[in-house]
Chains A and B, each alone.
Chain A
Amino acid sequence: MSAVWIILVGCFVACSCALLGSFLILRRMAMVGDAIAHAVLPGIVIAFMITGSRASLPVLIGAAVTGMLTTIIIELLHNKGGLQEDASIGISFTFLFAIGIIMISSLAGQIELDQDCVLNGELDYLPLFTSDLSIAGEYIPRNILTIFPAFLIIVGFIVLCFKRLQLTTFDEEFAAAIGINVMVWHYLLMAAVSLTTVVSFEAVGAILVVAFLVIPPAAAYLLTNRLKLMLIIACVIGILSSIGGYYLAVFTDSSSAASMATVSGLIFALIFIYTKIKQISKTKNVEEYKEVKA
């Protein structure tokens, strides 16, 4: 039964991340996603210190606020400070992440968070942390109780606001011209990314979230130019990597989260090579056609 739970959590994380990551990539904000994934750490620790639990609403709000704060710091350093953009990203997220790690180290033993969990999550120990709820005699892991609602929120957000997200992503100026508040949608998306990062964080750790955010959407983007199709393909790739990753982890006796991310990377590599071959044969066909015609 634990296999099902681990794969299920992996799928929810992968799908939420894939949906949001698609928009991040199209907006050329992949590294901002990376930054947010690191920077929510101090928010999580502070909220955790106050409430004593990781799954509460304050933790989610705290982390969402830190996530947005990160984007604001990046923009401040870039626009007001006159620092180039890549350096602004690099400085702000490492700073917040370092603060988070120092907090965790100084509270070592007092709270239920450690450095290892920050990087790796605790997907493998999922069956150990169960909630009070049960279905057919099986206690549901408490992770599911945060990740599943978050997944529903993200899906609802994307479905309900699809048109606006699409417009602000592809043609910001046009969107602004027809009266859409572009900044609001920018920050809503950042808040959604922070939310996803926080709930996924517990399962897969801070850095592997980035893999789920970026790799499946990038692979999907190579295959299609249509946004809706891209979202669906990205989710499918995410689900496949969760399933494949779980069995790879069992087979190699290593961390599930890391091997799920590894599998998604391998899928990306396959798709990359596939599109390359297709492209080459296409140009070959064109050349042959030209020769025949000549």
Chain B
Amino acid sequence: MQTWIEFLSFSDPGTQVVTLGSILLGAIASLIGCFTFLQKRALIGDTISHSVLPGICLAFILSGNKNPYVLLIGAIISGWISVLVSDIITRQSKLKADTSIAIVLSFFFAVGMMLLSGIQHSGNVNQAGLHHFLFGKAAAIVKEDVQMFLVVGIVILSVVLIYYRQFKLYIFDKDFAQSTGLPVKLLDFLLTTLVVLAISIGIRAVGVVLMSALLIAPAAAARFWSRDLFKMLLLAVFFGGVAGFFGAMISYAQPNMPTGPWIIIVLTLVAFCSIIFGQEKGVLQRWRKRRAFQTKVLKENILKIFYHLSEQSGNLESPRKLADLQSRRPIVRQELNRGLRLLKQNNFVQKHNENWQLTSKGMEESKRVIRLHRLWELYLSEHLNIASDHVHDDAEAIEHILTSDLQAQLENLLKERDVDPHNKIIPNTKSNI
């Protein structure tokens, strides 16, 4: 507990640097991650992040020190080469994109590990800390690093802002972007460069192995809250920053813990929650929508039963037993009870002893649904020349979906027709009398 308070008070200037650095890294990676995510190239991040390792090691071997800018240049070069190589393999051979990605990432990583073990065996004193690139260590971030993150962050942000509209068009519809004369090659080059840049600095916090998640998870999470690109970017950056903050905190409290895995755990949990609770096609929201529609269908089908029964005997107002209702249409008892209870709440039906009866509002509604069903059947057989014994199933589905606008159009098209293809009367409702 003591350590958390210490951390949150930022009494140690080192803590400020580390925290700021992690937040920046998380935010930058998330921003760029949204673009690769939307391009459905999320795994290219995995390739690049594994592939920057040999570049970093070579830069270290050649320069002999750990100057962040020198290592960054090495990382960018080998990251770019990996993208090019996997592109060439995919285009020039029968291997598929996922295979070439896996080949490139494992090969580059192997070379990187070879160089790294070679450096470690060489006994160079400067090499201590180089292995932090594998799993990330926020605590190893110093002031010069943060300055570099700021510079890179500003560069990335300004490129994204300047080319925002072009990027937007490019990622959503590449062919259309090309046909409108956008410089697609340039955009592709810029985006790949930004991805490589973001990854090259991001691995300081989460390491090469888990870097791809820092790109994917915030984007995936944000996607379930908004369809608007700008909002999605803001949200993803927020998620990434929060995760970076959390990672720095854990790194401070538990110096033995690598930071990367914790950042990724936080981000993945955020993504899981978003997938479940998200307002934009989240699992729960989709479930709720489906449930609401099923309920609507159930209610309308029960109302239709009353109408159909009235065509056989009695009239629309006649009270009906549960067994009567079930005899017309196979509905499970439980569902029927649920539907009737809901209809009662809406004041469509009322209960007398054990019998159910439509209210005047309910009668109108049942006529409306039947009317839509029969109008649609008539439309299909008259205007689309579908045999009259084939139109029922289609109408059964569409009657719950047709809006009043469409109803008006249908009525306009089928003026003064009052019999459906099965010679049944199309009921009139108050609204169209």
Which A residues form the contact surface with B (CB < 8 A)? 25, 28-31, 33-34, 38, 77, 80-84, 86-87, 89-91, 94-95, 97-99, 101-102, 105-106, 108, 115-116, 119-120, 205, 207-208, 210-211, 213-215, 218, 221-222, 249, 252-255, 257-262, 264-265, 268, 272, 275-276
B348 to chain A, nearest CB (A): 34
Q: Does B115 contact A (CB under 8 A)?
A: yes
A47 vs B105: C-alpha distance in the bound complex, in angstroms? Answer: 29
For chain A, what secondary structure do more than half of its interface residues adopt (helix, strand, loop), or is it mixed? helix
Interchain CB contact under 8 A, B93 and A222? yes
Cα distance A106–B260 in the bound complex, in angstroms: 14
Chain B interface residues toward A at CB < 8 A? 37, 40-43, 45-46, 50, 89, 92-96, 98-103, 105-107, 109-115, 117-118, 121-122, 131, 134-135, 209-210, 212-213, 216-217, 219-220, 254, 256-258, 260-262, 264-265, 268, 271, 275-276, 281, 283, 286
Residues of B within 8 A of A207 (CB): 50, 106, 109, 113, 209
Residues of chain A lying within 8 A (CB to CB) of residue B210: 94, 97-98
Q: Which residues of B contact A252 (CB under 8 A)?
A: 114, 118
Contact, CB under 8 Å: B283 / A82: yes
Residues of B contacting A98 in the complex (Cβ-Cβ under 8 angstroms): 210, 213, 260-262, 264-265, 268
A102, A116, A259: the one within 8 Å of B114 (CB): A259
Query: Does A99 contact B265, Cβ atoms closer than 8 Å?
Result: yes
Give the residue name and chain of the B residue nearest to A95 (CB).
Answer: B268
State in angstroms the CA–CA spacing of A120 and B276 once bound together: 37
A275→B106 CA distance, assembly (Å): 22
Chain A hits for B131, CB < 8 A: 116
- Whether A214 pairs with B99 at a CB distance below 8 angstroms is yes
CA distance A257 to B50 in the complex (A): 16
- When A94-B212, A255-B113 are in contact, do A34 and B257 touch as well, CB less than 8 Å? no
- Check A30 against B98 for contact (C-beta < 8 Å): yes
User: Are B94 and A222 in touch, CB under 8 angstroms?
Assistant: yes
A97 contacts which of B107, B112, B121, B209 (Cβ < 8 Å)? B209
Number of residue pairs spanning A and B whose beta carbons lie under 8 angstroms apart: 192
A101-B96 Cα distance, complex, nearest whole Å: 31
18 more A-B residue pairs beyond the given contacts A89-B43, A99-B261, with a C-beta to C-beta distance below 8 A:
A31-B102, A38-B209, A83-B220, A87-B219, A91-B268, A95-B213, A97-B261, A106-B257, A115-B258, A218-B95, A218-B100, A253-B118, A253-B122, A255-B113, A255-B114, A262-B114, A272-B89, A276-B92
Q: Within the assembled complex, what's the spacing in Å between the Cα atoms of A77 and B219?
A: 15
List the A side residues contacting B46 at CB < 8 Å: 34, 90
The distance in angstroms between the C-alpha atoms of A208 and B105, with both chains bound, is: 10
Report the bound CA distance from A208 to B114 in whole Å: 11
What is the minimal beta-carbon distance from A97 to any residue of chain B, in angstroms? Answer: 7
Is B213's CB under 8 angstroms from A90's CB?
Answer: yes
Instruction: Name the A residues within 8 Å of B256 (CB-CB).
Output: 105, 108
B220: chain A residues at CB < 8 Å are: 83, 87, 91
User: What is the bound-complex CA distance between A111 and B64, given in angstroms?
Assistant: 35
16 examples of A-B residue contacts, CB within 8 angstroms: A30-B98, A30-B99, A30-B101, A86-B40, A86-B41, A87-B219, A91-B217, A91-B220, A94-B210, A94-B268, A101-B260, A210-B105, A218-B99, A258-B112, A272-B92, A276-B93
Q: Are B216 and A87 in contact (CB under 8 A)?
A: yes
Contacts of B258 in A (CB 8 A): 101, 105, 115
Are A253 and B50 neighbours in the complex by a CB distance under 8 Å? no
Note all chain B residues with C-beta closer than 8 A to A253: 118, 121-122
A82 contacts B212, C-beta separation under 8 Å: no
The CA of A268 and the CA of B254, in the complex, are separated in Å by: 43
Residue of B nearest to A29 (CB): B98
Q: Which chain B residues lie closer than 8 Å to A91 at the CB level?
A: 213, 216-217, 220, 268, 271
Residues of chain A lying within 8 A (CB to CB) of residue B110: 208, 211, 257-262, 265
The answer to whether A94 and B213 have CB atoms under 8 Å apart is: yes
Residues of B within 8 A of A82 (CB): 275, 281, 283, 286
Closest A residue to B219 by beta carbon equals A87
CA of A115 to CA of B93 in the docked complex: distance in angstroms?
A: 36
Q: From residue A177, how far is it (CB to closest CB) to chain B in Å?
A: 25
Q: Which residue of B lies closest to A219 (CB)?
A: B103
B223 CB to nearest chain A CB (Å):
8
Question: Could you say which of B40, B122, B210 has the most chain A C-beta atoms within 10 Å of its C-beta?
Answer: B210
